[in-house]
Structure 1
């Protein structure tokens, strides 16, 4: 590991640590928490990256490591604070909305994209990034549909812009609308694109409402993330049929290979940790800290989420976002707005079902 990569990782950890501490500082100064640690870390690194553009180039390998690995580890450790009852409650109940939003997102992206002259591949990537899990879905689908680098960049720019907006605004919007905790979980878990952004929005909401180790939004998001497997399978079949129809059919991946390539392994470990916690494995007290192992792991997860968001922030350059093309950005905004409207309508119309 080279010096720059190590330095970037350490920088993300320091920002994550200070951002995590900032929630206590906010409480001391304002008597309440205005913004959760992960979103503070995202904001700090975004500002640093845009004021000092060379940081992204110099530290890219390290910030990429932080944004991916720390996020996955944070999700795994979050499992230690939950039980199967938690996961199968809010998360699975959101499945009808998740499936509807997947269909809606692709339909809007493809129809509007065709209307305004955005390439089919870019439209597919915007639809997938909006309805599943942001950059991960874009990266997965880009391999299946053989998207060009330019098309990937267009989709990424559109997703990052509105994802960041949603992550910052939804906790406050939920308060203004008087949503219950479960309603917020449905909204954030189904209408914020990237898992890291859901974690950040959830941290802000938890801090604002004093909910401790509550992880409802993340539970919904992880169920939604698993849908990437099925979306990848569907597009594999569609592309294989298109290739066969055009006479360009080659050797395509088997369904098993598609599952192997697309299944997020961190979700499996998240479930394992939740299973262990369900049977009380993490209930023992860490004597020197006067807290349970589950609570300690939950605090470590929040620190890792903040460090991961610091890595994400170093990738967001405002000038790049708006230089990637107005049409893809507009398509991302329209698709995002439709999914957000769908989720908001659901949480109000089915409030009794959500609880």
Structure 2
């Protein structure tokens, strides 16, 4: 490992330390998103650092994020799916379909790449940056596609976190209805927590419904991995001439097996171990896994921030931002319709 690469990794870790601290002293923007913002500010203030740190920030953006996702698994439990998660599952699965259909339809009109549409749909439907990184590893997305998708997701995630509590109060939503709305259509866990905290102050009701549904939603990372693998298989079939009898394109199942990220298997294993209570006897385990996973993800997003140039963000990146806004709005409307039509079911 050369000195510049090592220095870039150290800088990303330093950014994560600052971002984590800032994320704890206020509840609106979480550490991971602050890491992304700080990385963006640094690279746009000192443009030359982009090429010098490229190898290190790329390595950090991939490796640290994979580790963060694995440790996130240790904070999840399949018991969450059996409770509120199971109740919200029809809406969560429907929203995945909505996100991909809308993102692809609008993305085609905006003439953005299919990869960008897939990343925006994944981030909007599941869990923001974590889902984008997971999908990118399956479909082989470019760094600029990843950076623009993450920036887009951040903007509308922040808007949702700030507006939902007041909107819910104005519409007289029940505690359960707000929990379903926030848990199914706000992406980042820290943003869901912030929105739920604000709503608790406004309503006078302490609740963790939104965060419980959000954690159950995270487990659906596996679904987008399969979607990404199917996309890749179809692309390979088209590239090799899928209509030809001599085509040697791998089957969809072969592509899923080949492209399925190994770290997602470890993520699932950690969730299973947590579900069966393996970590219950370790008093510090829960806090450690929660903080460590968030710190590694923050470090990774700091690296991703180094890929975003403000000049190109409002030229090349403007279409992905519009795409992110439309896709987020479609999920907001989907969730609002669901909680209105099935108010008795939700409670």
TM range (shorter): 0.7 to 0.9
Distance change in 2, residues 1:55/1:292 (3 Å): same
1:258 Cα deviation after fit: 0.7
Aligned partner of 1:80 in structure 2 is 74
Give the whole-Å Cα distance in 1 for the aligned partners of 2:305 and 2:116. 20
Q: Is residue 2:164 matched to residue 1:166?
A: no
Distance change in 2, residues 1:206/1:140 (3 Å): same
Aligned partner of 1:295 in structure 2 is 287
Distance change in 2, residues 1:352/1:45 (3 Å): farther
Please say if residues 229 and 258 of structure 1, whose CA atoms lie closer than 8 Å, have aligned partners that are also in contact: no
Give the whole-Å Cα distance in 2 for the aligned partners of 1:18 and 1:284. 32
Give the whole-Å Cα distance in 1 for the aligned partners of 2:8 and 2:342. 45
Q: Is residue 2:45 matched to residue 1:55?
A: no
Give the whole-Å Cα distance in 2 for the aligned partners of 1:117 and 1:37. 31
Aligned partner of 1:130 in structure 2 is 120
1:113 Cα deviation after fit: 5.3
1:332 Cα deviation after fit: 5.4
Aligned partner of residue 44 in structure 2, secondary structure: helix
Give the whole-Å Cα distance in 1 for the aligned partners of 2:220 and 2:255. 18
What do the CA deviations read for 1:230-259 (whole angstroms, capped 9, x no partner)?
453266347637965765963211334311
Distance change in 2, residues 1:41/1:211 (3 Å): farther
Q: Is residue 2:216 matched to residue 1:219?
A: yes
Aligned partner of 1:277 in structure 2 is 274
Q: Is residue 2:184 matched to residue 1:186?
A: yes
Please give the TM-score of this superposition, normalised by the length of structure 2.
0.75
Give the whole-Å Cα distance in 2 for the aligned partners of 1:352 and 1:321. 44
1:186 Cα deviation after fit: 0.9
What do the CA deviations read for 1:130-151 (whole angstroms, capped 9, x no partner)?
22243653564468xxxxx7xx
What do the CA deviations read for 1:57-107 (whole angstroms, capped 9, x no partner)?
211222222222222222222222332202454556555445444544454
- For the aligned residue pairs, the C-alpha RMSD in angstroms reads 3.7
Distance change in 2, residues 1:142/1:241 (3 Å): same
Distance change in 2, residues 1:14/1:350 (3 Å): farther
Distance change in 2, residues 1:279/1:102 (3 Å): closer
Please say if residues 4 and 62 of structure 1, whose CA atoms lie closer than 8 Å, have aligned partners that are also in contact: yes
The 5 Å alignment of 1:4-19 reads: 4-19=4-19
Give the whole-Å Cα distance in 2 for the aligned partners of 1:295 and 1:203. 16
Distance change in 2, residues 1:47/1:25 (3 Å): same
Give the whole-Å Cα distance in 2 for the aligned partners of 1:304 and 1:215. 22
Distance change in 2, residues 1:351/1:68 (3 Å): farther
Give the whole-Å Cα distance in 2 for the aligned partners of 1:283 and 1:112. 46
Give the whole-Å Cα distance in 2 for the aligned partners of 1:211 and 1:303. 25
Structure 1 unaligned segments of length 5 or more: list them: 27-32, 144-148, 193-197, 286-290
Please say if residues 19 and 32 of structure 2, whose CA atoms lie closer than 8 Å, have aligned partners that are also in contact: yes
What do the CA deviations read for 1:124-177 (whole angstroms, capped 9, x no partner)?
33432222243653564468xxxxx7xx95x55653442121232222233223
Structure 2 unaligned segments of length 5 or more: list them: 123-130, 169-176, 201-205
Give the whole-Å Cα distance in 2 for the aligned partners of 1:325 and 1:40. 19
Please say if residues 104 and 118 of structure 2, whose CA atoms lie closer than 8 Å, have aligned partners that are also in contact: no
Distance change in 2, residues 1:302/1:321 (3 Å): same
Please give the TM-score of this superposition, normalised by the length of structure 1.
0.74
